């Protein structure tokens, strides 16, 4: 029977059929971050279990660490005990920990593809909702809760209910200045934050095939913002070229064998999807959110929409926006380029390309927080840090930082921030902070003009 990419990965990982749609799955890789990961390791130890496969577990501190230049574990005092706990458990259990300052350290969903910890056809979990990012290489990757993570660490298996298949196609060519971030924000704007609930989403179509690997990670990153725990892109030569030679990628004959298996993964031409959506990629303009949900999003050329219900009115009020006025031109106080959505080398290159020789507008605080130690080193090797600094940006150490403000770094109350992250909830970047989600190019345009601006009009 014809099967989807999702079906193939799921079916090959079923250890036991538990009935009523539930299966016990084998889990190939486990990622741990400082918050949920440290807690899960402690829980496993307290219950007297050993880790089933410490060699398949990879940890990195990212959420509760300072990103100030020269930071140590102690710079953010609130995260120090957690990090020390993670270090100790890593030593005791023998799992790999990529510590601050080491290659491999970084936001968990940035370092996993970067090191080829995640590979096509694998199952991967992490106690973090944006684990779906990793589906961009053609893996089945999803976030799990605390008790599920403990179960995986102790058994290398997990009970899951089989989701249904949803395919989202993007056909046509993206316009200049339009990115994967705009593609996924446009979809969430059109279909809503519940559209993917209960589904594994496959992103497909000519515009997705044309995306570089890092852009596919951005696309999959916001799957959870559409309600889907899992988002994926079928592996192809773009994926294989990206993964080849990376630290944990197979080599030699194993690489050849893996390639043969990976080439059989894409959905069969006549595979059945329970729901199908299609978007015209050429019609997508740069997107910017206006409210407190990722579905509250417009094209930057549009006005702030009229409220349709009390939730919209509350969002307009919180965001300090007036319906009917153009969103472009809205004054901005902060710009954040970072997060597991948009902090990879290609994101930083896109933002730097917009800067040219211009400077950040007076009164705007602008940060670049590279997604990983490797991204930071690569960006510095090609001089991107110098370009950002010359323009007036702060160049920082890797971590989640202003995406979630769990490390003491916050946008001040009432301040307006254009952010390349994925969540614009009330207080997400700090109490009273106002977040507008956008692409790195759009963030750079906002930094230069001191206002929400259409990157295409900057020249």
Ligand X SMILES: CC(C)[C@H](C(=O)O)[C@@H](O)C(=O)O
Which residues are near ligand SF4 by CB under 6 A?
A: 62-63, 107, 109, 128, 130, 339-340, 400, 403-404, 421-422
Task: Kindly tell me which of 36 and 420 has the beta carbon lying closer to ligand X.
Answer: 36
Binder of residue 35, out of ligand SF4, ligand X, none (CB less than 5 to 8 A by kind): ligand X
The SS3 assignment for 157 reads: strand
Residue 225 sits in the site that holds ligand X (CB under 6 A): no
Which range, of 124-132, 173-181, 314-322, 449-457, touches ligand X by CB under 6 A? 124-132
Question: Distance from CA of residue 237 to its chain's centroid?
Answer: 22
| Contact status, residue 181 vs residue 218, Cβ threshold 8 Å | yes
Residue 63 sits in the site that holds ligand X (CB under 6 A): yes
To ligand X, the closest distance from the beta carbon of 397 in angstroms equals 18
Residue 220 sits in the site that holds ligand X (CB under 6 A): no
To ligand X, the closest distance from the beta carbon of 284 in angstroms equals 25
Residue 129 sits in the site that holds ligand X (CB under 6 A): yes
Give me the long-range contacts of 379-388 (CB less than 8 A, separation at least 24): 379/345, 379/348, 384/348, 384/349, 384/352, 387/352, 387/355, 388/348, 388/351, 388/352, 388/355
Residue 34 sits in the site that holds ligand X (CB under 6 A): no
| Contact status, residue 284 vs residue 175, Cβ threshold 8 Å | yes
To ligand SF4, the closest distance from the beta carbon of 413 in angstroms equals 20
Binder of residue 89, out of ligand SF4, ligand X, none (CB less than 5 to 8 A by kind): none
Identify the CA nearest to 130 among candidates 52, 58, 209, 228.
Answer: 228
To ligand SF4, the closest distance from the beta carbon of 369 in angstroms equals 9
Residue 132 sits in the site that holds ligand X (CB under 6 A): no
Q: Which tokens belong to 81? A: 């005990």
To ligand X, the closest distance from the beta carbon of 223 in angstroms equals 12
Among 28, 34, 128, 409, binds ligand X (CB under 6 A): 128
φ, ψ dihedrals at 310, nearest 5°: -60, -35
**Helix locations, 264-402, DSSP H:** 310-319, 345-355, 373-381, 384-391
Identify the CA nearest to 436 among candidates 322, 300, 283, 284.
Answer: 300
Binder of residue 36, out of ligand X, ligand SF4, none (CB less than 5 to 8 A by kind): ligand X
Classify each residue of 55-69 as buried b or exposed e, where b means 16 or more C-beta atoms within 10 Å of its C-beta: ebbbbbbbbbbbbbe
DSSP symbols for 176-228? TT--HHHHHHHHHHHH-TTTTTTEEEEEESHHHHTS-HHHHHHHHHTTGGGT-
| Contact status, residue 402 vs residue 371, Cβ threshold 8 Å | no
To ligand X, the closest distance from the beta carbon of 327 in angstroms equals 25
Residue 109 sits in the site that holds ligand X (CB under 6 A): no
Q: Which tokens belong to 151? A: 């179960």
To ligand SF4, the closest distance from the beta carbon of 225 in angstroms equals 10
Residue 35 sits in the site that holds ligand X (CB under 6 A): yes
Among all residues, whose Cβ is closest to ligand X?
129
Task: Kindly tell me which of 160 and 407 has the beta carbon lying closer to ligand SF4.
Answer: 407
C-beta neighbour count of 48 within 10 angstroms: 7
Which range, of 126-134, 303-311, 320-328, 430-438, touches ligand X by CB under 6 A? 126-134
Question: Distance from CA of residue 430 to its chain's centroid?
Answer: 20
Residue 404 sits in the site that holds ligand X (CB under 6 A): yes
- Spatial distance between the Cα atoms of 343 and 340, rounded to a whole number of angstroms: 6
Task: Kindly tell me which of 93 and 129 has the beta carbon lying closer to ligand X.
Answer: 129
Binder of residue 351, out of ligand X, ligand SF4, none (CB less than 5 to 8 A by kind): none
Site residues (vs ligand X, CB under 6 A): 35-36, 63, 128-130, 143, 404
């Amino acid at each position: 029977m014809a099967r989807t990419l999702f079906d193939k990965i799921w079916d090959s990982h079923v250890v036991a059929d538990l009935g009523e749609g539930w299966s016990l799955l084998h889990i190939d890789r486990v990622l741990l971050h400082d918050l949920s990961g440290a807690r899960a390791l402690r829980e496993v130890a307290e219950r007297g279990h050993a880790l089933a496969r410490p060699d398949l577990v990879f940890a990195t501190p990212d959420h509760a660490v300072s990103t100030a230049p020269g930071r140590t574990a102690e710079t953010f005092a609130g995260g120090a005990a957690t990090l020390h706990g993670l270090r100790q458990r890593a030593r005791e259990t023998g799992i790999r920990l990529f510590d601050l300052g080491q290659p491999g350290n970084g936001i968990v969903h940035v370092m996993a593809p970067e090191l080829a910890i995640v590979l096509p056809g694998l199952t991967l979990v992490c106690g973090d909702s944006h684990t779906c990012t990793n589906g961009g290489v053609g893996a089945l990757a999803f976030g799990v809760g605390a008790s599920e993570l403990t179960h995986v660490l102790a058994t290398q298996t997990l009970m899951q209910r089989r989701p249904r298949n949803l395919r989202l196609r993007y056909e046509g060519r993206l316009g200049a200045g339009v990115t994967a971030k705009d593609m996924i924000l446009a979809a969430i704007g059109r279909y809503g934050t519940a559209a993917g609930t209960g589904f594994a989403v496959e992103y497909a179509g000519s515009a997705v095939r044309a995306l570089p690997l890092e852009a596919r990670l951005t696309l999959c990153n916001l799957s959870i913002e559409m309600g889907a725990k899992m988002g994926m892109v079928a592996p192809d030569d773009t994926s294989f070229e990206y993964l080849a030679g990376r630290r944990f990628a197979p080599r030699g004959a194993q690489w050849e064998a893996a390639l043969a298996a990976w080439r059989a993964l894409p959905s069969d031409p006549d595979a059945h999807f329970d729901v199908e959506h299609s978007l015209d990629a050429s019609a997508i303009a740069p997107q910017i959110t206006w409210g407190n949900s990722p579905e509250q999003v417009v094209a930057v050329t549009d006005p702030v929409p009229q409220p349709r219900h009390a939730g919209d009115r509350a969002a307009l009020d919180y965001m300090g926006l007036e319906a009917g006025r153009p969103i472009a031109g809205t004054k901005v106080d902060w710009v954040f380029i970072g997060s597991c959505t948009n902090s990879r080398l290609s994101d930083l290159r896109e933002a730097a390309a917009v800067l040219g020789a211009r400077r950040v507008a007076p009164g705007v605080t602008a940060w670049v927080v590279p997604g990983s130690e490797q991204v930071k080193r690569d960006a510095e090797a090609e001089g991107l840090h110098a370009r950002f600094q010359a323009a007036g940006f702060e160049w920082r150490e890797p971590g989640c930082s202003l995406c979630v403000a769990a490390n003491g770094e916050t946008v001040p109350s009432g301040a307006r921030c254009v952010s390349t992250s994925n969540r614009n909830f009330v207080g997400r970047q700090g109490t009273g902070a106002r977040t507008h989600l956008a692409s790195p190019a759009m963030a750079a345009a906002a930094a230069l003009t001191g206002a929400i601006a259409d990157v295409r009009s900057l020249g």
